[in-house]
Amino acid sequence: MAGNGEKPVSLTSRKNSVQQHQVCILGSTGSIGENTLNIIQRHPERFTVISLSAHSRVDKMLAQCLAFKPQHVVMGSEQAAASLKEKLTAHGVTNINVQFGNQALCDIAKDDNVDTVMAAIVGSSGLLPTLAAVKAGKRVLLANKESLVTSGQIFIDAVKTSGAKLLPIDSEHNAIFQCLPEFEQHRPGECELADNGISKILLTGSGGPFRTRAVETLSAVTPDEACAHPNWDMGRKISVDSATMMNKGLEFIEAKWLFNVQPEQIQVVLHPQSTIHSMVQYKDGSVLAQMGNPDMRTPIAHALAYPERIDAGVEPLDFFNTKAFEFEQVDYARYPNLKLAIEACSKGQAACTALNAGNEIAVAAFLAGDIKFTDIYKVNESSVDKFVSERVDCIDDVMTLDGKAREFASAIVAELKEQN
């Protein structure tokens, strides 16, 4: 089946038949990938796993292959692919096509036998396979926010040209999507929010694990402390991003592109309980919010079955045992990375691409114990300053700038490591 394969569903046919989807999961061994497989396992009549990908975790991929029997698997290296093949053979499984590398990732993302692609690779490594899915006109379930942050208009133009159906997985963007008029849900990147009476998008964030910790102690934060998010269980990179609130910054830029809004129309609101996942404010004074327990299976199930609703295995929200909702202004002295990202959003694509690349290098160095938590901001700020005036007109420009910014950020990391 070519293209996004989505047929219009009438109200009567919704009752009698279920939509079936052939699914590719890019990054299936990660936190989003595993939650996606959890939903798929609950609805075998709706979803068939065609292909999976991982970087280096062979044993996790082996278990997924045995449980879901995909046709194709892509690993990050020849060695990981060979190791997986050997283990599959030892289990008597010889009919899975195991490949490795970026071209193979793009191939499974645009495969004619797939109509739905979950883009759940972490970082800008997800950009090319996600774009391959977009260009092939798939239903693209976008968790990999970094791909949209690094390529912005280029990514959205590819969606418009191919007619791909973009469905946000990030809980905030999925919440905003759910609060939009249905007509606008079908026009990612082209929404006309003002014409629909919308005045503002309210992007909520919990503030992460250090919302109340003394700012002067933040330089001593350890990787494990930074990854201990109070409400969400996520991969380590996004957990650190949540602790610095760079995650909210990346989401700010993601929201600009997904919903075609200007930075002035997005307001970040701290909501420590993460029960409200984001809101849309209308001109008549109405505010629509999407709520639920903080469990990524909700947005994943929403996007997988869209426009239908399916069981996600998520505990229903119990209003009588829920903590009181609190809201706070953002303190940018505590979260300078968020301010940097909001400013980058107005400065243009080069600032956003360089910021994302610098941040990926800085977070990896922090997780490896090479730099301090507070050094992440230093790397990020220098990366934006260095590359803000570069031109980014096409995907090759994005890849070139991403590479240069990584090299530059790595040199700053080396200096900081020396000083520590």
Binding site for ligand NDP (CB under 6 A): 27-33, 54-57, 76, 120-122, 125, 143-146, 170, 232, 234-235, 237-238, 296
Residue (184 or 254) nearer to ligand NDP, CB: 254
State which residue, 81 or 350, has the beta carbon closest to ligand NDP.
81
Contact region with Mg ion (CB under 5 A), list: 17-25, 171-179, 276-284, 289-297: 171-179
Residue 383, H or E segment: helix 375-387
Residue from 111, 115, 146, 170 touching Mg ion (CB under 5 A): that is 170
Measured CA to CA, the distance from residue 4 to residue 165 in angstroms comes to 7
| Identity of the residue, 28 or 382, whose beta carbon is nearer to ligand NDP in the bound complex | 28
Instruction: Kindly state the smallest distance separating residue 348's Cβ from ligand NDP, in Å.
Output: 22
Burial grade of 231 (CB within 10 A; 0-12, 13-18, 19 or more): middle
CB of 170 to Mg ion, least distance (A): 4
**Least Å from the CB of residue 124 to ligand NDP:** 9
Fill in the amino acid letter for 132: A
Q: How far apart are CA 121 and CA 129, in angstroms?
A: 9
Q: Give the H/E segment covering residue 83.
A: helix 78-90
Least distance (Å) between residue 364 CB and ligand NDP:
10
Q: What's the min distance (Å) between Cβ of 4 and ligand NDP?
A: 21
Q: Which stretch binds Mg ion (CB under 5 A): 19-27, 163-171, 188-196, 263-271?
A: 163-171
| Residue 66, φ and ψ in degrees, nearest 5 | -65, -35
| CA–CA dist 138, 130 (Å, integer) | 10
Among the listed residues 175, 56, 67, 172, the one whose alpha carbon sits nearest the alpha carbon of residue 122:
56
> Taking a C-beta distance cutoff of 8 angstroms, is the pair 409, 376 a contact?
no
Q: Indicate the DSSP class of residue 71.
A: S
* CB-based contact 205:271 (threshold 8 Å): yes
381 is in the binding site of which of Mg ion, ligand NDP, none (Cβ under 5 to 8 A by kind)?
none
Closest to ligand NDP by CB, 22 or 53: 53
Q: How many C-beta atoms lie closer than 10 Å to residue 276's C-beta?
A: 19
Check: CB of residue 249 under 8 Å from CB of residue 145: no
Nearer to ligand NDP, 122 or 289 (CB): 122
Residue 291, Cα to own-chain centre: how many angstroms? Answer: 19
The residue number whose beta carbon is nearest to ligand NDP equals 30
Partner from ligand NDP, Mg ion, none binding residue 359, C-beta < 5-8 Å depending on class:
none
Q: How far is the CB of 166 from ligand NDP (least distance, A)?
A: 14
| Beta carbon of residue 284, minimum distance to ligand NDP (angstroms, whole number) | 31
CB 57 within 8 A of CB 88: no
Q: Which is nearer to ligand NDP, 19 or 64 (CB)?
A: 64
Q: Of these partners, ligand NDP, Mg ion, none, which one is at the site of residue 209 (CB under 5 to 8 Å by kind)?
A: none
Q: Which residues bind Mg ion (CB under 5 A)?
A: 170-172
